[in-house]
Chain A
Amino acid sequence: MKVGFIGLGVMGRPMALHLQRGGHELHVWARNPHSAEGLPATVHASPAELGAACEVVFTVITSSSDVEGVALGENGLVHGMAAGKVLVDCSTIAPDVARRIAEKLGEKGIHMLDAPVSGGAQGAIDATLAIMAGGDAEVLERVRPLLDCLGKRIVHIGPNGAGQVAKACNQMIMVAAIQAAAEALHLAAASGVDCAKVREALAGGSAGSRVLEIMGQRMVDRNFAAGIEARLHHKDYGLVLEAARKSGVPVPLTAAVAQQLNALMALGMGRDDTSSLLRVLEV
């Protein structure tokens, strides 16, 4: 199948390569042409041109407004994709923006899935991402063979926007868990106890989690090189709090963690790993 890919960053590049290795013809567009270098792909001059050449287009971009621009803006996908084609947006954006884009594309008969992913850069490289999809179930079934190239757990959550809601829930739980691990290990260190031993002991019990396993190890090793850059979690927390506010749902813990992320940004650690929340406590 002819598959388009936009957003060739830490996540997007390995995902695009998996699709190509899965036997699909890869087409790309990149705002910065250097990002497409060395890829076994046809490079296009605009999203519209890419959209016209492909059956299915994937996007993995940072912000709601960037996704909106690529999909609906000048020379956007909407101007090239034909009715019946599918946009799979794997970015993490606001649920209401995802719904709005789906609606606009729907007016031209173009299908869209919001399909944000969890699993980080390692999950993208290993093709073990969790994928949470919002949109028509039939459309999901059509593109499922492609998603199978990228991830292990592909769940249809509900209609458009539902995938982004699930991703927001994912970020709430994960980053709060990173903060909990950071506070626990900080307490251990301040009490003169070996953090590595604490982490090892906890991993076998009720407090065991993937965050404690992976992020906890980074904290023990004091290896704060990203993984996923903390600034992206900071961005996601802005989306989560906005969604909670619009729904009138109190999220006191999320709000408190968001302030630690603000401090992290102020300390200039936005390009580092989110396990840097430990260093915010040490300031």
Chain B
Amino acid sequence: MKIAFIGLGIMGRPMALNLLKGGHQVTVWARRAESMQPLLDAGATGAASPAEAVKGNELVISMVADAPDVAEVMRGVAAGAEPGLVAVDMSTIAPAAARRIGEELAAAGVDFLDAPVSGGEVGAIAGSLSIMVGGSAAAFAKAQPAFACMGKNIVHVGGAGAGQVTKAANQIVTGMGVVAVAEAFAFASKNGVDRSKVREALLGGFAYSKILENHGQRMLDRNFQPGFKSWMHEKDLNIVMQTAHELGLCLPGSAATAQLFSAMVGSGMGEEDSIALLKLLEKLSGQE
């Protein structure tokens, strides 16, 4: 398939590379020209703008930072779109913003999918991302061959915005999961108990989770390299909290978690992995 890919950061670069490996013809555009080079070296075609990138393509995929960036990219896409184009945004943005962008694209005759991912840089490189998709069944079917190159667990959740709602739910669970494991470890150490033994014991029971297993091990190793930067988790939880505010939805656990991530960003830990939350808890509990 002929695919345009926009946004070649930590996630976008390996995702676009996997499309090339899957035998698709890929045109790329990125705000910073130097980030396009690895893709050009691998056989992609470069474009000078999003509008130019979509010319002659059946599918366009964006992977950028935040809703204003998606809106701007998609304005360019709408300007260059030919009939039948399907646009897929795989960034994490607010469900309401995704629905708005979808409506604007529909007015230009472009079918839109919101398809955020989970699995991080590791999943992007391995082509094993979870992809949660909102939008029409027809557009989903058209994008499916591209999704198959980038991810494993690909679910068409529902209509416009449903993918972003699912991603927000994912961030609630992973955000609170990181807090839960970090608090359990802080609790164990302050009680003079070996946290690595605690982790090992818990892995066999009902408290088992991927977060306890993988993030827990990295906490034990004190390996706070991202991974998933804490400022991004804070941004995602802000989407959750703003949506809760708009809808009248009581989320006390998410609210407390969002405040902890906000404290991390405020105290200069934004560029570290979100599991660096452990360090914040240790500081607050006199365990430095």
Residues of A within 8 A of B (CB): 234, 237-238, 241, 244-245, 247-252, 255-256, 258-260, 262-263, 265-266
Contact = CB atoms under 8 A, between A and B. Distances in A.
Interface in B216-259: 234, 238, 241-242, 244-245, 247-252, 255-256, 258-259
Contacts of B180: none
B256 A256 contact: yes
A256 B245 contact: no
13 contacts: A245-B234, A245-B238, A245-B262, A248-B263, A249-B262, A250-B263, A251-B259, A252-B256, A252-B259, A255-B241, A255-B258, A258-B241, A262-B247
B266 interface: yes
B262 A244 contact: yes
User: Chain A contact residues: over half helix, strand or loop, or mixed?
Assistant: helix
B266 A250 contact: yes
Contacts of A266: 247-250
Contact of A250 (B247, B250, B259): B259
A255 B256 CA distance: 7
User: Chain B contact residues: over half helix, strand or loop, or mixed?
Assistant: helix
B267 interface: yes
A82 B249 CA distance: 45
A274 to B, nearest CB: 15
A263 B248 CA distance: 6
Contact of B245 (A238, A245, A250, A251): A238
Nearest to A280: B250
Contacts of B266: 247-250
Q: Report the 10 A-B pairs with minimum CB-CB distance, sorted nearest first.
A: A248-B266, A265-B248, A250-B263, A266-B248, A263-B250, A255-B255, A252-B259, A259-B252, A255-B259, A259-B250
Given A250-B260, A255-B259, A256-B256, A262 B267 contact: no
A251 B263 CA distance: 9
Interface in B63-93: none
Contact of A248 (B242, B245, B258, B267): B267
Given A248-B266, A248-B267, A262 B244 contact: yes
Interface residues of B, number: 22
Given A245-B238, A249-B266, A258-B245, 19 more contacts: A238-B245, A247-B266, A248-B263, A248-B265, A250-B263, A251-B259, A255-B241, A255-B256, A255-B258, A256-B256, A258-B241, A258-B255, A259-B250, A259-B251, A259-B252, A262-B245, A262-B247, A262-B249, A262-B250
Contact of A256 (B238, B255, B260, B263): B255
A44 B110 CA distance: 45
B255 A250 contact: no
Interface string B131-144: 00000000000000
Contacts of B252: 256, 259
B281 to A, nearest CB: 13
A253 B249 CA distance: 17
A244 B261 CA distance: 12
Contacts of A251: 259
B283 to A, nearest CB: 12
Contacts of A234: 245
A241 B241 contact: yes
A276 to B, nearest CB: 13
Nearest to B254: A259
A217 to B, nearest CB: 26
A118 B241 CA distance: 26
A265 B266 CA distance: 30
